[in-house]
Structures are given as structure tokens and as C-alpha cells.
């Protein structure tokens, strides 16, 4: 069976065609304008950021060479041989590096714990549904924002001046960042709880603190733990570069190796960091799945 | 108070009193509510023991001491005192910082843009439904993982070795770390795209490239755009510190002023950074809203 396509007479079709052409032209004008603005912004930014494509193309070989050189001994009796032919020589500083890595993990752990505990106590005051005082709530939310926005390395730089070199400023810097990041997430979790248990606790004569302990905590604790573990993963990465500014951990040895062109040391330390980060990511992921799974089975 | 709510209060008080009167009976009938089982308690106790044990190890090993903390906090108070008022020494110095701030924003913008452009092909190779074969997919995924596991600051140090000190190295560092992060997010977006438009293009005789262009791209572009904007925001934050290793931007001045204990200038720079980050967040929030708003309309 065939359908006869009705075709509008040209007189009626003409305005429709024109409208279509106009719409296409308008869309095209808009795209061209957007493209022109984008190109202008790119050119200005490229000028500001001193982009030198010539240098990049001339030296791009150095970039790939760098990674090749990372895995070849350049001095000593083994000079010129690939690093994996002699693990003892490649990982000569293994004992010290492992100890520094352990420090790095502890920095991340302590900072995550301290930051999450502070965020935990502050988040109930900052949450829209539980906060006792709107003014206090606003102040705490702004504080969270401030802690989050200033990068942790900046805090570390200032704390190194105040507390001296070593892991202490690193822990404090990461802890402050953790307060900001987890404070926001915790507050959001608390704002999304079911309020019925809270009403129940209040109706049975419970105080504010009691209602939080018995009506809110059971709902939020596993999400809190999951966010804290996620933050721990992020903080391990953060702690591994704290040493760049003298705030403890493996970063100190890493930046020294990079600056002094100890190529095989760089690759050895980077590999150790990558393996550690991978192991911690896998471990915490398992824990988080367990926590969230337990939450859903309720 | 209205009659209804007063009734409710009286009733709840009555329930409460009757419950309290029969507390022993309640305890006998619902033992699990009043005393949680030993299993749960043991697990909780073990977790606490591990948490506290690690805490003690960390505090001892990382050399935390009360004296050090107290003197440090005192010193910190003095530093904050020195920060007020947060003004730079001179106008030329302020202009220098503003220029460095512009450099920082330029690094974040171009770095994110170049990273996103390069991440798209990598994401197409890494996504299950658009990849060429499993070998390509495997290598695309592994290279994305490797790039992601190296911190942006380390990339900056490496690029400084290649193109020399300056903002260009910072741009390349932001770009490199974004290739890793964005290609993972993009490939996830591509994998969750609806298959039907792809099948439609293939059924009309389109090639695989056409299927990607007209079947998948229209679906994932809004997601990609909003993720790119999000990364632009977060890169503005991270590119403020990239200068610490000599890769351009305001971080260089910040580190310098902190090391020379010029805390008024430090406070000025931090305020500049905060203002810039807030401005960028605002603009990209508007852009993102317009993008996701449009995406919802077309669905």
C-alpha cells in the first residue's frame, strides 16, 4: 500500500522555507559568534600563558626521552643498562623510601581522621534541617568553603613557617582541606535524611543531642565513613607531594631526585607511590562497597 | 497553640508515660533494642581499637608534641596578625600579582581545553562501545590510568625539564593530568550512552565513524561540556599552586612571599586567588546551567 504525499503549493511553502532558512542562519550566526569569542579567548590566554609551540615541537623528543631515561642507569658500574636488570641497584634506597611512604600514609590517615572528626561535629550545626541557629549555620558553611578553596599546599607553606619543617604542617594542611571538603559532603548527607525518626525522638522527649545520636547517626554513619575513606584515598595522593614544600613524606626525596636528575631514583619512587596508591584505592574501595552494601540491605 | 497540636502533645505524653511505666516489660520483650548483640559490639570495639592504635602510632612517629603544637599555634597567631592589613607594598607589585593571576587563569583555561580535546579520542578508544579492538582498548585504558596516577605537580616538574620554566610548562602539566582524568570520565559517559541512535545510523547504511558522530556525540556532548567546566573550576584552584615548582602563575609569587615572610602580600595574594576562584565558579556555574538546561529541553 502506498501513501500519497501531499505537497503544499509553492505559494504556501515559500514562507515556511524562508522561516527554515532564517532559523538555520540564526543558528549559524550564533555558532560563528560563539566560535569567534572562543578563538579570541584562546588567543589572549595563549599570549598570557606564553605558549611557545616552536619550543614544544623542538623539545617534544625530550619529553619522551625523559621517560626512557627514567629506566636506564646513567652512572656507576651499571651505566647504560636498563634499570630492571638490577633491582638491588634500582631500588637501592628501598628501606628509607618505604619508611617515608609509611610516613606519607600516616600523614594522610591522621589528617583524614582529624579533619573528618571536626567536619562530623560541625556538619550538624551547618545542616539546614538540624542547625539550631541560621547565623551560625552560615558562618560554618563559609568556613567550610574557605578551607576547601585555599589549596592545601598553600596552608602547608604557611604552616611550615609556623610549625617548622616536617610532617606536622603537612598533617594540619591536609586536615584543614579535609574539614572543608568533608564538611560540605557530610552536611549534604545530613540535609537529605528522613526526618521522621528525628520527630519521633523529639516527641518522646529527647534533646537535640539525643535526637542526633539515636535518629540521625544511624542514617548517616555509613555514608560518612564512605566519604572519609574516599577522602583518605585523595589525601594519600596529596600527602605524597607535601614534601615538595618541606611538609614531610616521600615528596621530599621525590622532588630532590627530579631536581638533581637522579633518573632511576625518580622512576623507583614514582613506581612505589603508584603501587601504594593503587593498593590503598583497592582496599578502601572494597571497604566502601561493603559499607554502602550494608546500608542498602537495611 | 491550637487544640489539635495540644491534643497531640497530651497524647504523646500519655504514650511516653505508659511506655516508661512498663519499661521492664519492654526490656524483656525487645532485648535487642536495649542491649545490642555481642557480635556488633565486638566489631565496633575492634574498629575503634584499630583507629585509635593507628592514631597513636601516627602521633608518635610523625613527631607531634604538645609543646610544638602550642608554640606553632602561637606563631600562627602572630603570622595572622602580620597579615593585616592585606595590602601589597606598592602598586607595581599589585599589578605584577594581577598579571600572575591572569596567567594562572590562562593556564587553567587552555590546559583544560587542550586536555579535553586530546581526551576525547582517547576516551573513544577506551570505551567498550566505540573502541576499535580489545588491544587498543587495553592500551588506552592503561595509559589513562598511568597518567592519572602521577600528580599534577610532578607533571609540572617534568614539563619544566622539557620546555623550561614558565607558564607554558604549567599549561602542559594541567593538560596532561586532565587527559588522564577526563578520558576516564568521558569514556564512562560514552559507555552509558543509549544504543538506539547508533543502531539507527548503522541501519541506514552509516559507517562506524558516522554512528559515533551522529549516534553518540549528540548524547554525550552536554555531559562532556559540563565535566570540562567542572574541571576548569578545579584547575583554577590547582594552577594557583603549580608555580611553586616554577611552572608559572601566581604560585611562584605566593611561595616567594611566604618564604621571605612578607605576610601582608601573602594575604593579598590569597584574597586575589579566592576572588578569582569565586568569579570562575560563578561564570562556569551559569554556563553549566545553560548547558544542562538545554540538554533537558531536547530530551
Residues A183 and A239 in one domain: yes
Q: How far is A26 from chain B (nearest CA, A)?
A: 17
Residue A22 lies in a domain: yes
**Partner residue facing A241 (CB), from B72, B151, B255:** B151
Is there a contact between B255 and A157 if contact means CB atoms under 8 Å apart? yes
**Partner residue facing B168 (CB), from A50, A66, A110:** A50
CATH (domain of A268)? 1.10.3720.10
Residue A141 lies in a domain: yes
Residues A102 and A247 in one domain: yes
CA A31 distance to own-chain centroid? 34
CA B207 distance to own-chain centroid? 38
Residues A76 and A214 in one domain: no
**What pLDDT digit, counting tens, does each position of B217-256 carry?**
888 988 898 889 989 988 988 888 888 888 888 988 998 8
Given this model, what pLDDT does residue A56 score?
A: 85
In B111-170, the residues whose Cβ lies within 8 Å of chain A are 113, 146, 149-151, 153-154, 157-159, 161-164, 166-168, 170
* A238 close to A177: Cβ distance less than 8 angstroms: yes
**What pLDDT digit, counting tens, does each position of A249-268 carry?**
899 999 999 888 888 888 99
DSSP states of B29-98: H-HHHHS--HHHHHHHHHHHHHHHHHHHHHHHHTT--HHHHHHHHHHHHHHHHHT-S---SSHHHHHHHH
Residue A240 with chain B: CB contacts under 8 Å: 151
Euclidean distance between CA atoms B147 and B155, whole angstroms: 9
Q: By C-alpha distance, which of B95, B79, B157, B172 is closest to A154?
A: B79
**What pLDDT digit, counting tens, does each position of A21-75 carry?**
999 999 999 999 999 999 999 999 999 888 888 888 888 888 888 888 888 887 7
* A188 close to A260: Cβ distance less than 8 angstroms: no
User: Among A173-187, A195-209, B36-50, B248-262, which is the least confidently predicted range?
Assistant: B36-50
In A190-249, the residues whose Cβ lies within 8 Å of chain B are 203-205, 237, 240-241, 244-245, 248
Given this model, what pLDDT does residue B37 score?
A: 65
Going by pLDDT thresholds of 50, 70 and 90, the confidence category of residue A222 is confident
**What pLDDT digit, counting tens, does each position of B85-137 carry?**
887 778 888 888 999 999 999 999 999 999 999 999 999 999 888 888 889 99
Residues A30 and A168 in one domain: no
Cell numbers for B124, please give them: 573513544
Residue A166 lies in a domain: yes
Q: By C-alpha distance, which of A248, A94, A92, A271 is closest to A168?
A: A248
Using a CB–CB cutoff of 8 Å, tell me whether B269 touches chain A: no
User: Among A169-173, A241-245, B144-148, B291-295, which is the least confidently predicted range?
Assistant: B291-295
Q: How far is A151 from chain B (nearest CA, A)?
A: 7
Q: How far is B64 from chain A (nearest CA, A)?
A: 7
Residues A145 and A66 in one domain: no
Is there a contact between B241 and A59 if contact means CB atoms under 8 Å apart? no
Residue A1 lies in a domain: no
Residue A39 with chain B: CB contacts under 8 Å: none
CA distances from A186 to A98, A139, A238, B204, B236 (A): 34, 16, 21, 50, 24
Residue B110 with chain A: CB contacts under 8 Å: 42, 45-46, 49, 51
Q: By C-alpha distance, which of B176, B115, B185, B122 is closest to B149?
A: B176
**Partner residue facing B149 (CB), from A151, A254, A274:** A274
* A250 close to A273: Cβ distance less than 8 angstroms: yes
CA-based R_g, chain A, Å: 29
Going by pLDDT thresholds of 50, 70 and 90, the confidence category of residue B187 is very high
Tell me the CA end-to-end span of chain A in Å, nearest whole number: 59
Residue A7 lies in a domain: no
What chain B residue is nearest to A235 in terms of C-alpha separation? B151
Which residues fall within 8 angstroms of residue B69, CB to CB, at 6 or more apart? A163, A168
- Indicate the Cα dihedral angle A131, A135, A137, A140, nearest 10°: -150
- Fill in the DSSP letter of residue A83: G
Euclidean distance between CA atoms B199 and B195, whole angstroms: 6
* B102 close to B284: Cβ distance less than 8 angstroms: no
- Indicate the Cα dihedral angle B76, B82, B85, B86, nearest 10°: -70
User: Which of B8, B98, B148, B163 is the mutation pick for testing A, counting most A CBs within 10 A?
Assistant: B163
**Partner residue facing B61 (CB), from A55, A106, A149:** A106
Query: Domain range for residue A103?
Result: 94-297
Residue A240 lies in a domain: yes
- Fill in the DSSP letter of residue B30: -
Cell numbers for B41, please give them: 559490639
**Domains contained in chain A, number:** 3
Residue A82, strand partner residues: A72
Residues A39 and A131 in one domain: no
Residue B167 with chain A: CB contacts under 8 Å: 48-50
Residues A121 and A242 in one domain: yes
Residues A149 and A282 in one domain: yes
Is there a contact between B274 and A149 if contact means CB atoms under 8 Å apart? yes
**What pLDDT digit, counting tens, does each position of B36-81 carry?**
666 667 888 888 899 999 999 988 888 888 888 888 888 888 888 8
* B104 close to B240: Cβ distance less than 8 angstroms: yes
**What pLDDT digit, counting tens, does each position of B134-161 carry?**
899 999 999 998 888 888 998 998 898 8
Residues A118 and A31 in one domain: no
Q: By C-alpha distance, which of B212, B223, B156 is closest to B186?
A: B223
Euclidean distance between CA atoms A226 and B150, whole angstroms: 24
Residue A72, strand partner residues: A82
Q: How far is A13 from chain B (nearest CA, A)?
A: 26
Going by pLDDT thresholds of 50, 70 and 90, the confidence category of residue B1 is very low
Residue A277 with chain B: CB contacts under 8 Å: 149
Mean pLDDT confidence for A91-104: 90
Residues A205 and A116 in one domain: yes
Given this model, what pLDDT does residue A169 score?
A: 93
Using a CB–CB cutoff of 8 Å, tell me whether A107 touches chain B: yes
Residue A66 with chain B: CB contacts under 8 Å: 158, 161-162
Cell numbers for B289, please give them: 546551567
Given this model, what pLDDT does residue B108 score?
A: 93
Mean pLDDT confidence for B192-196: 88
Can you give the pTM of this predicted structure? 0.82
Is there a contact between B79 and A162 if contact means CB atoms under 8 Å apart? yes
Residue A2 lies in a domain: no
Euclidean distance between CA atoms B251 and B257, whole angstroms: 10
Residues A155 and A266 in one domain: yes
Going by pLDDT thresholds of 50, 70 and 90, the confidence category of residue B176 is very high
Ramachandran angles phi, psi of A82, nearest 5°:
-60, 145
Given this model, what pLDDT does residue A289 score?
A: 84
ipTM exceeding cut-off 0.85 for this assembly: no
Amino acid at each position: 500500500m502506498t501513501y500519497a504525499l501531499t505537497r503544499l503549493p509553492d505559494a504556501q511553502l515559500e514562507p515556511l522555507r524562508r522561516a527554515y532558512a532564517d532559523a538555520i542562519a540564526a543558528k549559524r550566526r550564533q555558532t560563528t559568534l560563539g566560535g569567534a569569542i572562543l578563538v579570541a579567548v584562546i588567543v589572549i590566554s595563549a599570549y598570557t600563558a606564553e605558549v611557545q609551540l616552536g619550543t614544544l615541537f623542538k623539545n617534544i623528543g625530550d619529553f619522551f626521552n625523559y621517560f626512557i631515561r627514567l629506566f636506564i642507569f646513567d652512572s656507576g658500574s651499571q651505566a647504560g643498562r636498563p634499570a630492571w636488570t638490577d633491582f638491588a641497584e634500582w631500588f637501592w634506597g628501598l628501606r628509607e623510601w618505604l619508611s617515608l611512604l609509611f610516613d606519607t600514609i600516616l600523614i594522610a590517615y591522621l589528617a583524614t581522621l582529624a579533619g573528618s572528626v571536626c567536619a562530623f561535629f560541625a556538619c550538624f550545626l551547618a545542616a539546614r534541617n538540624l542547625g539550631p541557629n541560621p547565623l551560625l549555620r552560615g558562618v560554618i558553611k563559609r568556613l567550610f568553603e574557605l578551607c576547601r578553596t585555599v589549596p592545601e599546599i598553600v596552608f602547608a607553606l604557611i604552616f611550615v613557617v609556623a610549625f617548622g619543617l616536617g610532617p606536622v604542617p603537612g598533617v594540619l594542611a591536609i586536615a584543614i582541606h579535609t574539614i572543608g571538603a568533608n564538611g560540605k559532603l557530610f552536611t549534604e548527607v545530613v540535609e537529605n535524611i528522613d526526618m521522621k525518626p528525628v520527630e519521633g525522638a523529639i516527641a518522646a522527649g529527647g534533646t537535640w543531642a539525643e535526637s542526633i545520636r539515636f535518629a540521625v547517626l544511624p542514617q548517616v554513619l555509613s555514608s560518612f565513613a564512605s566519604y572519609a575513606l574516599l577522602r583518605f584515598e585523595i589525601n594519600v595522593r596529596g600527602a605524597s607531594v607535601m614534601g615538595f614544600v618541606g611538609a614531610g613524606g616521600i615528596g621530599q626525596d621525590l622532588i630532590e631526585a627530579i631536581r638533581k636528575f637522579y633518573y632511576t631514583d625518580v622512576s623507583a619512587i614514582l613506581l612505589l607511590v603508584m603501587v601504594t596508591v593503587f593498593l590503598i584505592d583497592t582496599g578502601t574501595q572494597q571497604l566502601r562497597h561493603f559499607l554502602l552494601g550494608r546500608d542498602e540491605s537495611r | 497553640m491550637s487544640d489539635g497540636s495540644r491534643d497531640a502533645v497530651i497524647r504523646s505524653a500519655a504514650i511516653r508515660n505508659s511506655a516508661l511505666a512498663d519499661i521492664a516489660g519492654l526490656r524483656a520483650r525487645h532485648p535487642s533494642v536495649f542491649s545490642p548483640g555481642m557480635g556488633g559490639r565486638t566489631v565496633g570495639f575492634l574498629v575503634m581499637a584499630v583507629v585509635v592504635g593507628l592514631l597513636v602510632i601516627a602521633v608518635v612517629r610523625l613527631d607531634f608534641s604538645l609543646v610544638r603544637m602550642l608554640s606553632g599555634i602561637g606563631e600562627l597567631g602572630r603570622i595572622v596578625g602580620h597579615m593585616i592589613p592585606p595590602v601589597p607594598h606598592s602598586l607595581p607589585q599589585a599589578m605584577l600579582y594581577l598579571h600572575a593571576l591572569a596567567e594562572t587563569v590562562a593556564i587553567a583555561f587552555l590546559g583544560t581545553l587542550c586536555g579535553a580535546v586530546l581526551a576525547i579520542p582517547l576516551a573513544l578508544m577506551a570505551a567498550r562501545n566505540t573502541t576499535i579492538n580489545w588491544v587498543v582498548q587495553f592500551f588506552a585504558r592503561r595509559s589513562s590510568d598511568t597518567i592519572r596516577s602521577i600528580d599534577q605537580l610532578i607533571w609540572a616538574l617534568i614539563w619544566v625539564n622539557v620546555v623550561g620554566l614558565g607558564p607554558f610548562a604549567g599549561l602542559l602539566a594541567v593538560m596532561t593530568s586532565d587527559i588522564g582524568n577526563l578520558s576516564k570520565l568521558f569514556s564512562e559517559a560514552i559507555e552509558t550512552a543509549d544504543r538506539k541512535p547508533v543502531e539507527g545510523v548503522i541501519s541506514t547504511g552509516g559507517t562506524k565513524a558516522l554512528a559515533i558522530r551522529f549516534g553518540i556525540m549528540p548524547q554525550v556532548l552536554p555531559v562532556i561540556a559540563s565535566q570540562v567546566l567542572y574541571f576548569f573550576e578545579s584547575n583554577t584552584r590547582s594552577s594557583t599552586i603549580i608555580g611553586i615548582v616554577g611552572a608559572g602563575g601566581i604560585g611562584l609569587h605566593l611561595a616567594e612571599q611566604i618564604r621571605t615572610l612578607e605576610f601582608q602580600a601573602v594575604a593579598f595574594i590569597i584574597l586575589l586567588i579566592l576572588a578569582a576562584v569565586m568569579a570562575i565558579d560563578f561564570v562556569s556555574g551559569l554556563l553549566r546551567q545553560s548547558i544542562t538546561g538545554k540538554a533537558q529541553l531536547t530530551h
